[in-house]
Chains A and B, each alone.
Chain A
Amino acid sequence: MQLKSHARTLAIALSLAVVAGCSSTGGSQDGDMDGGLAGSDRDGVSTGTADGRGVSGDRAGQMTDADGRIPATRTIYFEYDSDAIRNEFEPVLTAHARFLRANPSATVILQGHTDERGTREYNLALGERRAGSVERYLNVQGVSPSQVEVVSYGEERPAARGANEQAYAQNRRVVFAY
C-alpha cells in the first residue's frame, strides 16, 4: 500500500521534471494520448504560456479605416443577478451596432463577467447569459450573427478586487473585445 503511494508520488515528481524540461523547448505534451492537441497549440502549454489577451482592442489597428472607429466605451455594467440592458447603456450598444453594420468584416467577442458571489460554474453560465443578452440586442439592430461571439469568464477575471458592492458593480459587466 505504501509502496504504491510512494510510487505515485515519484511518478508525479518525474512528470514534473519532464514538464520542466519541456517548457523551454516546448511541444511534447500532447504525446500519444488519443486525439492529441491541435498542432497550432503553443509550446510550453503545460507550464503556461498562453499569449495574448484580446481584451481591449488589440486588433483595432485593422479596423480604424474610413468606415469609422471602434466606439470608445467598450464595457457596460449590469445589476445584481440581471442580464437586462440598463437604459443608460443603450447608446453604447447602438454605437457598437452602427460600427459593426458599417464594417461587416469586423468581429467582436462579447466577454461576459459576473461578481464573485455564488458558485463559479453557475456564474460562468450567468456571464454567458449576460453576454448573450447583448448579442441579441446587437442582432436586433441588424448586426450579422457571424460578427459576434460570446465568451463568458464568469467570476474568473474580476476588474476590481474586494468583497463589497462597489467592486461587485464593476465586475458585473460585458466587455466588447475587438
Chain B
Amino acid sequence: MNILKTTWLAAMLMLFTSLAQAADLTIEITRGSDRATPIAIVPFADGDDMPQDIAQIVSDDLERSGYFEPLERGAMFARPAGSEEVSYGEWRALDVRYLVAGRISREGDQYRIQYELMDVSGESRMIAETVTAGRQGLRDAAHYISDQIFEEITDIRGVFSTRIAYVTSSGVGDDTQYALHVADADGRNSQQILASDEPIMSPAWSPDAGKLAYVSFETERPAIYIQDIASGRRVRATSFEGLNSAPTWSPDGRRLAMALSKDGQPEIYVMEIGSRDVRRVTNDSSIDTEPAWSPDGRSLLFTSDRSGGPQIYRLELDSGQAERITFTGDYNARARFAPDGEAIFLIHRGSNGYQVARQDLESGRLVALSDTGQAESPSVAPNGTMVIFATQQGGNGVLGGVSADGRASFRLPAAQGDVREPAWSPFLN
C-alpha cells in the first residue's frame, strides 16, 4: 500500500505544483466547547524542517469538532516522541485525558509518521500506527490521523478527511465573478471547478461524493447541471422555463429532488437521473422549494409559505401527504436532515436574526445553534457532529461552523471576496 501511495503522491506533487492554487480558507476557532475532553497533542519529533506541522493540524481538527480541548503547547513540560518516553503521572497532573505523540522520519521524498494515542488515566496505548506520505500528502495524512483518534475515543467516525464545496463571488455589479470550489473540510487545498460571470448556486454532492449538482445562470437562465468532479465532464440536467433550482441527491444516487416553476409557481419535483423523467410531488398555490431527502429516501423536507410565511414541511413520497413540522417562529427554511434522521437543521429567524437551528423531530423542540444573525445554507457533516453554514463577517460572506450541540463554533474566512453556500461532502470511501 505504501508503494502505491508513493506513486500517487508523487504524481500529485507534479500536478499540484503546476496548478495555481485558489485562495484557501483559514480556520479560526471562535468558541471551544465547555464539555470538550482535554487532550495533549505533543509536537511530533521530526528532526528536519517539516513543510507541515502534523501535530498542529491534528490539534486544529480535534478542537474544531467541539469534542476535544487540546492542551496549549506552552503548558507542555515534556515532549515525548512515543509511549516509552511518557510519564503518565505528569500528564494526569495537567488533567489531560488522552495524549498523542509521534515522530517523523524521512526516507527520500517520503515522510514516515509514527504516532501513538495513549489513555492517560489507564496508562495504556490505544493506537500505534505508521503512516507514509509524500510532501503533498502530509495534510491528508494528518487528517487521517485525526480521524483515527476521533473514532477511537468517541466511537464516531471522523469527518476530517471529507471535503466541502462552496461558491465564491468577487467584484461588484456587472463585473461580479462567481466560482464553485472544492476544498478539504478545513478549507485548505481549495480547487476551483467552475467559474462564470453569471451566478452559481446550490452545490449538492452525490452520495458517492463523485459528482456535484448545481444551478448555473451561464445561459442567462437558471439551469441545473451535474458535473463529474474527477473528469470535469458535465451535463445540463434541466433547463425548463422558469426556476430550475435547489437540486439535492436521493440517498441511492438515482434521483434528484429540485424546485421548478415550469407549471406556474415553484413546486417540488423528483427527476430520475437516468431517464430525465420529472415527477411533480407537491401541488399548492404557494412557493414550495428547498427539498432535502430523508436518510431512508422515503420522504422529503421542503420549505413552503402556504401558511403565510416560510415553514418546513415533510412529504411522504409514497402517500404524497405533506405535513408541517416547524411551528416555532415565523421564518423557518432550508432544512437538512441529521444523518440519523432524528433531527433537522434549518435556518430559523428568531430574536437574533437568521440563525442555524436544530429541531428534534420527536419532541419538536427547536434550539438555535449559531450566534450570528445572517446565517444561510446549513450543511450537515456526514457523521452529524457539525454543521457548516454561510454567514457574514466584516461585510463579507464567510463560512461558519458549529457543533451539533451548539457548544463549539469556528469561522472559515477567505482572503478576499465572499464565500457562501457550503456543502459538506459525504464520506469519501
Contact = CB atoms under 8 A, between A and B. Distances in A.
A137 to B, nearest CB: 17
Contacts of A91: none
Nearest to B229: A12
Contact of B261 (A14, A109, A128, A157): A128
B290 interface: yes
Contacts of A36: 235
Interface stretch (A27-35, A59-67, A68-76, A100-108): A27-35
B428 A4 contact: yes
Contacts of B347: 118-119
Contacts of A31: 231, 233
B218 interface: yes
Given A30-B233, A53-B220, A124-B243, A10 B259 contact: no
Nearest to A55: B174
Q: What is the interface residue range for chain B against chain A?
A: 35 or more
B395 A124 contact: no
Given A10-B11, A124-B201, A161-B395, A3 B287 contact: no
A47 interface: yes
Contact of A8 (B193, B230, B354): B230
A119 B140 contact: no
A2 interface: yes
Given A53-B220, A122-B310, A10 B176 contact: no
A120 B376 contact: yes
Nearest to A126: B287
Which of A4, A30, A51, A128 has the largest count of B CB atoms less than 10 A from its CB? A128
B334 A50 contact: no
Contacts of A41: 219
Interface string B97-131: 00000000000000000000000000000000001
Nearest to B397: A116
Interface in A75-116: 109, 116
B235 to A, nearest CB: 4
A167 to B, nearest CB: 10
B278 to A, nearest CB: 14
Contacts of B230: 8, 11-12, 14-15
A151 B194 contact: no
Contact of B19 (A5, A16, A118, A119): A16
B234 A159 contact: no
A162 B246 CA distance: 25
Given A9-B12, A18-B232, A19-B232, A46 B193 contact: yes
Main secondary structure of the interface of B (DSSP, over half): mixed
Interface string B221-259: 110001111111111110001110110000000000001
A29 B193 CA distance: 12
Given A6-B140, A33-B233, A163 B201 contact: no
A119 B235 contact: no
Contacts of B4: 3
A159 B312 CA distance: 30
Among the interface residues A10, A51, A119, A122, which one has the most CB atoms of the partner chain B within 10 A? Answer: A119
A152 B354 CA distance: 22
Contacts of B261: 125, 128
Given A48-B196, A122-B287, A150 B12 contact: no
Contact of A120 (B209, B221, B421): B421
B269 interface: no
A119 B303 contact: yes
Contact of B193 (A11, A16, A109): A16
B43 interface: no
Contacts of B174: 53, 55
A157 B396 CA distance: 15
B75 interface: no
A3 B140 CA distance: 10
B235 A37 contact: yes
Contacts of A163: 374, 392, 395
Contacts of B93: none
A25 B421 CA distance: 30
A45 B195 CA distance: 8
B327 interface: no
Given A6-B9, A118-B333, A121-B201, A17 B15 contact: yes
Interface of B: 1, 4-5, 8-9, 11-12, 15-16, 18-19, 131, 137, 140-141, 144, 161, 172-174, 176-179, 182, 189, 191-199, 201-202, 209, 216-222, 226-237, 241-243, 245-246, 259, 261, 265-266, 274, 276, 287, 289-290, 303, 310, 331, 333-334, 347, 349, 354, 374, 376-377, 392, 395, 420-421, 428-429
9 contacts: A3-B4, A8-B209, A11-B230, A16-B192, A19-B193, A19-B232, A48-B179, A118-B354, A128-B266
The 7 A-B residue pairs with the shortest CB-CB distance, nearest first, are: A48-B195, A50-B218, A156-B199, A11-B230, A31-B233, A119-B334, A48-B196
Given A17-B18, A46-B232, 20 more contacts: A1-B144, A2-B141, A8-B428, A10-B11, A15-B229, A16-B193, A16-B232, A17-B15, A22-B232, A29-B234, A36-B235, A38-B236, A41-B219, A46-B234, A118-B310, A119-B376, A121-B259, A125-B243, A151-B221, A156-B199
